[in-house]
Amino acid sequence: MRHILSLLMENETGALSRVAGLFSARAYNIESLTVAPTEDPTVSRMTLVTSGSDEVIEQITKHLNKLVDVIKVIDLNESRHIERELMLIKLQARGENREEIKRLVDIFRGRIIDVTENTYTIEMTGAGDKLDAFISALEDGVILEVVRSGVSGIARGDKAIQ
């Protein structure tokens, strides 16, 4: 099953490579990984999407906790949560296609953030499957470039990870 793990870790050089190294050394897979400092510049927050059986996820969580740079690990799947991903996508937009794409972007609540004679660049956020849906709604061959941030996640409600 797909899990979203949230990590707080020391904002140290090398901390990221410890996490990445753990996944490759133990043959766990990473679907996506995002990391940036928090409001406290000494702490980084990482959101990591992985998949595996319950046993595998348990081992991943234990090994992450064991890393000396990791302060806290939360499996967001254990409670209600929100996930968002940012996508920047550049599309071929000529002639009648231009209108069609604009309509689609509106439906998916994206924004056109750069325009040339032949292209649109679009910004869109949402859960990963919404971004996937947008991509598959596009006509074949119009995509010039896709940049996705990977998932960021946060728990719903009053609960806060600190």
* Minimum distance from residue 24 beta carbon to another protein (Å): 9
The amino acid that residue 136 corresponds to is S
- For 138, the token pair is 């596009």
* Minimum distance from residue 69 beta carbon to another protein (Å): 6
Residue 65 has, within 13 A of its CA and on its CB side, a CA count of 10
Using DSSP's 3-state secondary structure scheme, residue 64 falls into: helix
Please report, as ranges, the residues that interact with another protein according to CB under 8 A.
Answer: 9-10, 13-14, 17-18, 21, 25, 55, 58-59, 62-63, 65-66, 68-71
Nearer to another protein among residue 18 and residue 84 (C-beta): 18
Nearer to another protein among residue 29 and residue 65 (C-beta): 65
Beta strands in 52-149 (DSSP E): 70-75, 81-92, 111-115, 119-126, 143-148
DSSP H helices, the chain, are 15-25, 54-66, 96-107, 128-137
* Minimum distance from residue 147 beta carbon to another protein (Å): 28
Given a contact cutoff of 8 angstroms between Cβ atoms, the answer to whether 69 and 50 are in contact is no
Q: What is the Cα–Cα distance from 2 to 126, expressed in whole angstroms?
A: 17
Nearer to another protein among residue 70 and residue 91 (C-beta): 70
* Minimum distance from residue 108 beta carbon to another protein (Å): 40
Nearer to another protein among residue 65 and residue 79 (C-beta): 65
